[in-house]
Chains A and B, each alone.
Chain A
């Protein structure tokens, strides 16, 4: 399986993602933002970081970068596109995913382990994961998901909510919402479920010495499902 990680100026989780993808068997390549084309891939990843300094608005400049046209074409033809953290913000800026990511409710950067509940397993990203609740890690200042009422209805009707913040038992209520996200949304799909954007970082949870290992389940499933 071939994957491509796009490097924007200011990306800083590109290496971590490269390490994780290779660990679970992907043949990964790094692609520079200023390239016109993406080499043949089964999966494209937009990594976390502060693309273009996140100036103007998180992910907005990256959403207009040269490489993005190829990403959009790839996604529209059904290819798998995964955006983590800043990558999620970029995906909303391109319009590939609905909604936006606002500043965290308490206005602070948050770096900690969180639990997320898998809301939809009918897709390649979560299909074979046996657990219902994963322990992942967040590190962001703008992860407070928001969209219009109409958008929310359509997201819910189409099963586009991927993961929600919750406690270890899976209660995704207000008490377990670290950043104020609408409906505790931590990650969403597009209608066809080939695009996933999420704030938590599975690539930081891939061995027992790190914050945890549930990230491994994510990548194991991904390579198996493809």
Chain B
């Protein structure tokens, strides 16, 4: 056995003072297994040591919240006895090293987090960020990640209903793969990870333990260097077939009354799952590692404890229920082993071949884990650009629109979502490519909407505003399909927290998220933090991904973004100031990268959103789409493309710069379609509620037209919009 010293501790990712603290707490030097356990529990990924202090600021409460952050996933009430279990999680580091397996196991991991609480997964989503399309690695990474996500989700038979794909050179050396799952559970049949009672059998089920993924969580807590390819063995390998069996077996067992608590073995495998269950129950736990089903020969206690082999669960059962449970796992051909019991020692005690190989008080690993108050700097709001008239002189609206529609961050992503099974389970009523994905709550009139959003450009320009903005965008996506926004989950992807600027980005994004979600009563119920997205000193732009869900009490009231009928009116809800700084237009057409992001006005955001829902409830609007990246012209083009119908835009009134008006990215706005007979009613209602609106144009013909400045056929813009990614991927 290796003798532990400071050098070995540092190789495990611990700092010297952390190692000293471990020796002080134990009043001795840890052995190698114990050191491995400490390093797994104290790394950033598991301990949230840099983020915990700030995560407390998040708004996490609300009438609808059944379970907030701190469990495997968050849970919200969706009326009757139904609840939605959901969470988003990052799998960034492994996906860069091995895109297929990294992304696949990201999907597998998040689904386990959801079904371990008793829920059947009903929808998957993802947010993926890649480097510049010109970067040599981007194409293969994108291909691998999409195949990995599809390979896992398609096999399990859970539809992937929405997602988001972004390109930016800041991800050249660190891609982001954030996976989200929604599950449906009866709110009286939820399972938690908190163990209770002593001498209860601890059961291991699922796949056998191998040497894959050892130290995965530590790898995810480190920055990358030139030797990153050498870390391939730390990437886990997924087996969606086994996960499907595990899902069915667990749900079958959960239908009975034998489970006290259940926890999936995710990051840091058997170590974190066993410690978490004991810690939450204020108990001790004893495990005989000889009994753990192993895939490889001569595995050591250290390897067994740190393996991140996938598709495994730990269960604390009621005494005497072992045989009943085993029958179910036998039926599904899964390993089942009683490997230990709960104790009142409050220690984790590990045995191997009849010898005690580790003993650590649980407190040391959980509550006494380090917590840092890292230094951070506040970002200044950048000065606004004043664009002179000359800069627009040579520009044509039609050229600009075509250029914006083929911007990699706008262009159609069909090539991606055609590879995801988005219709299995027979309840997908809004597919990828709309405002949000929508799935019915099986057998009811209800449906759940979900989307994932991020706005790294805005967050980078001003983290506080960016944090607020991304929550608002998520909220607007829910409103746009006619759903009442319920709650969010956040995946906080940042650079190195030991750098003051990066830490500042994190702190202020979190504060922005907190403020907006509180104001909108759109609480954060789950999430994760991914730091150290940095390669050779270059970090990513701050990228909080927000996964939002909303409820449609009656899915007959769902809205889509396709235009419905010729002659219908189009309104813009919300005020257009023409904010170009940080917009796609500024970056892509004016090549201007500075300036502040659009301002977020939470009061208007809430008013505008609620008024849309009111209008929909009175059946006064036919179609709705939120205005985001690329502004009004991009939004209506997408609506036209989806429906094959044209738009005639009305002349703008006053001295408005048409480029600012049509491409500005002001917040809190929607495009709605109104039948002529409802026009007066809608106008009156909006005026009564003091909602700003502009009459934008009419649904008409098969072209998009504005005065003499713009005349493009929908077919032509569709071709451009649809082909960019497909052509990029074949080249």
Contacts and interface: CB of A to CB of B under 8 A. Distances in A.
Nearest to B428: A210
Contact of A9 (B156, B332, B417, B426): B332
Contacts of A13: 157, 424
Interface in B419-437: 419-426, 428-429, 431
A204 B428 CA distance: 9
Nearest to A11: B157
Q: Most chain-B CB neighbours within 10 Å: which of A19, A108, A110, A206? A: A108
Contacts of A49: 157
B332 A16 contact: no
B421 A9 contact: no
Contacts of B423: 111, 137, 139, 201, 204, 210-211
B426 A111 contact: no
Interface in B523-572: 555
A206 B242 CA distance: 30
Nearest to A112: B418
Interface in A36-74: 48-50, 52-55
A19 B426 contact: yes
A25 interface: no
Interface string A182-226: 000000000000000000010110100111000000000000000
A12 interface: yes
Contacts of A111: 154, 417-423
A109 B150 CA distance: 8
Contact of A10 (B150, B155, B419, B555): B155
A53 B156 contact: no
Contacts, number: 84
B426 A16 contact: yes
Contact of B429 (A16, A50, A139, A210): A210
B239 interface: yes
Contact of A109 (B156, B245, B419, B431): B419
Contacts of B242: 53
Contacts of A53: 155, 239-242
A15 interface: yes
Interface in B395-424: 417-424
Contacts of B418: 108-112
B249 to A, nearest CB: 10
A49 B419 CA distance: 15
Contacts of B419: 108-111
B440 interface: yes
Contacts of A9: 241, 244-245, 332-333
Contacts of A137: 423
A139 B428 contact: no
Contact of B157 (A12, A55, A108, A206): A12
Contacts of B240: 50, 53
Interface in B202-243: 239-242
A49 B431 CA distance: 20
Nearest to B430: A209
A82 B422 CA distance: 23
B244 A12 contact: yes
A201 B244 CA distance: 21
Contacts of A12: 155-157, 244, 424
B545 to A, nearest CB: 23
Contact of B244 (A10, A48, A210): A10
Contacts of B421: 109, 111, 139
Contacts of B424: 12-13, 16, 48, 139, 204
A176 B281 CA distance: 60
Q: Most chain-B CB neighbours within 10 Å: which of A9, A48, A111? A: A111
Q: Most chain-A CB neighbours within 10 Å: which of B157, B244, B555? A: B157
Contacts of B154: 50, 109, 111, 139, 141
A112 B333 CA distance: 33
The 10 A-B residue pairs with the shortest CB-CB distance, nearest first, are A12-B157, A53-B241, A16-B426, A209-B429, A139-B421, A50-B155, A109-B419, A111-B421, A204-B423, A109-B150
Interface of B: 147, 150-151, 154-157, 239-242, 244-245, 331-333, 417-426, 428-429, 431, 440, 555
13 contacts: A13-B157, A50-B157, A53-B241, A54-B155, A108-B147, A109-B421, A110-B419, A111-B417, A111-B423, A203-B426, A204-B424, A206-B426, A209-B429
